[in-house]
Amino acid sequence: MDWGGPAFIIAIIVTCTAGWLINNWIRARHGYALEDEWGGKTERADVAATAELRRESDLLKQRLAALESRAATLEAIITDRGFDVAHQIEALREPRNEVIRQ
């Protein structure tokens, strides 16, 4: 093989380019910043969107927890025997009110 010929230079260029492509493919697959042609880093475009979605998800989880707590409180009130007795008393008052009005 001629070490000074154009085939050797082309082989070096192809090897370097293939290595760069494989490196970027591995980095992209695992979520790391990609390298540009001059060795600088390029962040993924969806990083900011992902952070915003995580903040929104955390907020929604907090709101859901608060609503679940409120629903549990209301459920405890409704299933409480005192509420049932009060409801029965109110049910007994209604027919008497109708009789008095007639």
Q: pLDDT tens across 46-81, in order?
A: 666 778 888 999 999 999 999 999 998 888 877 777
Residue 77, Cβ neighbours under 10 Å: how many? Answer: 10
Whether residue 85 has pLDDT greater than 90: no
Q: Is the whole model's pTM more than 0.75, yes or no?
A: no
Residue 56 structure tokens: 């929104």
DSSP 34: E
pLDDT digit string, tens, across residues 12-45 = 999 999 998 898 888 888 877 776 666 667 666 6
Residue 53 structure tokens: 């979605």
Residue 93, Cβ neighbours under 10 Å: how many? Answer: 10
Dist CA 33 CA 25 (whole Å): 11
Residue 92, Cβ neighbours under 10 Å: how many? Answer: 9
